[in-house]
């Protein structure tokens, strides 16, 4: 029998993050969201708790946990706020893990301890203005001139790329041509503040307003040759592996948002009266909340399954895509239903439900659109490309 019960260690972590989310995040995050301001104090506290180092071995300054521990923490944060949750998700899945998975001993020593402590954030530079789902359409170039790489190009929608604690961006760039004429894509670490590396003003976003997102521009940006991450020409494969892993974590975020909608509705229907009775007594409301719980629970099992396969070293590409698709669907559907239950109050940004509704949509787009997930699932089922 498969047991999806969390271990004692994972459950203790879940409770600790839940307590932090309710006591520290919930009272203040609405103000950060309205001001579109990055919550440095909260991120600092998350660093002190060791959340950014959860899947990082102790010898590199981490907590020595596993990827499921990271997902559990992300889910609990997202039950209260997605901006904070995605800062952790992107900071680890897209910032820490490429260095840990593909970095040289020197690169790990340079970056991992401060990343794991939450003192620095790393960003993941794949998406370009003309290439989102089509990551192979990369136009950013990196030419080797002696002992340096010279980068030119731009990246779009990059999370954690312009904060005061951003340490670097890992950039996918075309470094040559393969024997068959295709693009040779490699990965280059570009430290923040490098001449020729410009961070554009932050985007005005529909949701995730307390997270950091920017366009990045590289104009004759020079970095040492040793900033190559992993093997030359393996950058595309590295990014695909990183995205597959990250889909499990972003699924956990979607589950957290979906469950947060249930939490808020259960509280609200006990307070709100209409036509002389609590609205929680209405069967139509009860059925709607029951469906919301069903979606959250089912999506949680999907990401638990994907994470379990990942930790066992078993293939999990299909399961990661299933989890991401199920969780983003659950988040969108639950946010819509929660807003309906709240009525006019659900349309107000001052309520968590209002923020959940705005935050849910990006889950169907970021880290692989829902259409891409369906393509991946179809491919794993053996359907023709």
User: So what's the pLDDT on residue 144?
Assistant: 95
| pTM of the model as a whole | 0.96
Q: Is the pLDDT of residue 208 over 90?
A: yes
Whole-number Å distance between alpha carbons of 99 and 108: 6
User: So what's the pLDDT on residue 276?
Assistant: 87
List all residues 6 or more positions away from 120 whose beta carbon is below 8 Å from its beta carbon. Answer: 111, 114, 165, 166, 167, 168
285-317 tens-digit pLDDT: 999 999 999 999 999 999 999 999 999 999 999
254-266 tens-digit pLDDT: 999 999 999 999 9
Do 50 and 94 reside in the same domain of the chain? Answer: yes
Domain contains 3: no
Do 207 and 246 reside in the same domain of the chain? Answer: no
> In terms of Cα–Cα distance, which of 32, 14, 124 is closest to 79?
14
Q: Is the pLDDT of residue 1 over 70?
A: no
Q: Which of 24, 367, 371, 380 is catalytic?
A: 367
User: So what's the pLDDT on residue 2?
Assistant: 64
Q: What is the DSSP string of 127-176?
A: -BTTBSS-GGG---EEEEETTEEEEEEEEEEEETSSSTTEEEEEEEEEEE
Confidence of residue 135 (pLDDT cuts 50, 70, 90): low
Domain contains 2: no
User: So what's the pLDDT on residue 133?
Assistant: 65
CATH number at residue 275: 1.20.140.10
Mean pLDDT (the chain) is: 95
Whole-number Å distance between alpha carbons of 230 and 238: 8
User: So what's the pLDDT on residue 5?
Assistant: 87
Do 164 and 79 reside in the same domain of the chain? Answer: no
Number of domains in the chain: 3
The distance from CA 364 to its chain's CA centroid, rounded to whole angstroms, is 12
Domain contains 325: yes
Residue where a domain stops, chosen among 121, 143, 174: 121
Do 134 and 16 reside in the same domain of the chain? Answer: no
Whole-number Å distance between alpha carbons of 320 and 308: 11
Tokens of 100: 């840990």
Do 313 and 371 reside in the same domain of the chain? Answer: yes
Domain contains 267: yes
Q: Is the pLDDT of residue 43 over 90?
A: yes
Domain contains 351: yes
Do 115 and 154 reside in the same domain of the chain? Answer: no
Do 26 and 108 reside in the same domain of the chain? Answer: yes
Do 246 and 232 reside in the same domain of the chain? Answer: no
148-191 tens-digit pLDDT: 999 999 999 999 999 999 999 999 999 999 888 889 999 999 99
- Integer CA distances (angstroms), 111 to 81, 95, 227, in order: 28, 10, 12
Confidence of residue 3 (pLDDT cuts 50, 70, 90): confident
Residue where a domain stops, chosen among 104, 121, 138: 121
Domain contains 263: yes
- 36 in active site: no
**Residue 17 belongs to domain spanning:** 8-121
Confidence of residue 130 (pLDDT cuts 50, 70, 90): confident
Do 244 and 374 reside in the same domain of the chain? Answer: yes
Do 155 and 193 reside in the same domain of the chain? Answer: yes
Q: What share of the chain in percent tops pLDDT 90? A: 91
CATH number at residue 218: 2.40.110.10
Do 180 and 244 reside in the same domain of the chain? Answer: no
Domain contains 1: no
- Other Cβ atoms less than 10 A from the Cβ of 117: the count is 16
For 180, counting Cβ atoms within 10 Å of its Cβ (0-12 exposed, 13-18 middle, 19+ buried), the class is exposed
Which of 91-100, 133-142, 261-270, 367-376 shows the lowest per-residue confidence on average (mean pLDDT)? Answer: 133-142
Cβ–Cβ under 8 Å, residues 155 and 201: no
Residue where a domain stops, chosen among 121, 150, 166: 121
Whole-number Å distance between alpha carbons of 17 and 12: 9
Whole-number Å distance between alpha carbons of 169 and 124: 6
Q: Is the pLDDT of residue 69 over 60?
A: yes
Q: Is the pLDDT of residue 66 over 80?
A: yes
Do 111 and 17 reside in the same domain of the chain? Answer: yes
Q: What share of the chain in percent tops pLDDT 70? A: 98
Tokens of 107: 């690169």
Domain contains 385: no
């Amino acid at each position: 029998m498969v047991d999806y019960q969390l271990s004692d260690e994972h459950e203790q972590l879940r409770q600790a993050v839940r307590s932090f989310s309710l006591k520290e995040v919930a009272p203040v995050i609405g103000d950060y969201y309205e001001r579109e301001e990055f919550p440095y104090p909260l991120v600092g506290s998350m660093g002190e708790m060791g959340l950014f180092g959860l899947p990082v071995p102790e010898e590199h300054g981490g907590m020595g946990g596993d990827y499921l521990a990271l997902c559990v923490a992300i889910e609990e944060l997202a039950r209260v706020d997605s901006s904070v949750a995605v800062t952790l998700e992107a900071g680890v899945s897209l910032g820490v893990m490429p260095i840990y998975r593909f970095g040289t001993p020197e690169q790990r020593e340079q970056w991992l301890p401060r990343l794991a402590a939450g003192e620095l954030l790393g960003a993941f530079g794949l998406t370009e203005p003309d290439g989102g789902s089509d990551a192979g359409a990369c136009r950013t170039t990196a030419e080797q001139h002696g002992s340096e790489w010279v980068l030119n190009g731009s990246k779009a929608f990059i999370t954690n790329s312009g904060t005061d604690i951003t340490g670097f961006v890992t950039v996918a760039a075309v470094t040559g041509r393969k024997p068959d004429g295709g693009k040779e894509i490699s990965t280059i670490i570009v430290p923040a503040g490098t001449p020729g590396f410009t961070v554009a003003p932050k985007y005005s976003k529909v949701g995730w307003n307390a997270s950091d997102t920017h366009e990045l521009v590289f104009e004759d940006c020079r970095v040492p040759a040793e900033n190559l991450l992993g093997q030359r020409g393996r950058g595309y494969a590295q990014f695909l592996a990183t995205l597959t892993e990250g889909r499990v974590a972003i699924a956990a975020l979607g589950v957290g948002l979906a469950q947060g909608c249930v939490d808020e509705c259960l509280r609200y229907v006990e307070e709100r009266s209409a036509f002389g009775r609590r609205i929680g007594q209405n069967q139509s409301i009860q059925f709607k909340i029951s469906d919301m719980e069903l979606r959250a629970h089912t999506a949680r099992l999907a990401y638990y399954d994907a994470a379990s396969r990942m930790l066992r070293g078993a293939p999990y590409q299909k399961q990661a895509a299933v989890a991401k698709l199920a969780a983003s669907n659950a988040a969108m559907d639950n946010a819509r239903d929660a807003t309906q239950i709240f009525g006019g109050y659900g349309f107000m940004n001052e309520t968590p439900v209002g923020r959940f509704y705005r935050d849910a949509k990006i889950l169907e787009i970021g880290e692989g659109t829902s259409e891409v997930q369906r393509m991946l699932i179809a491919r794993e089922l053996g359907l023709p490309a």
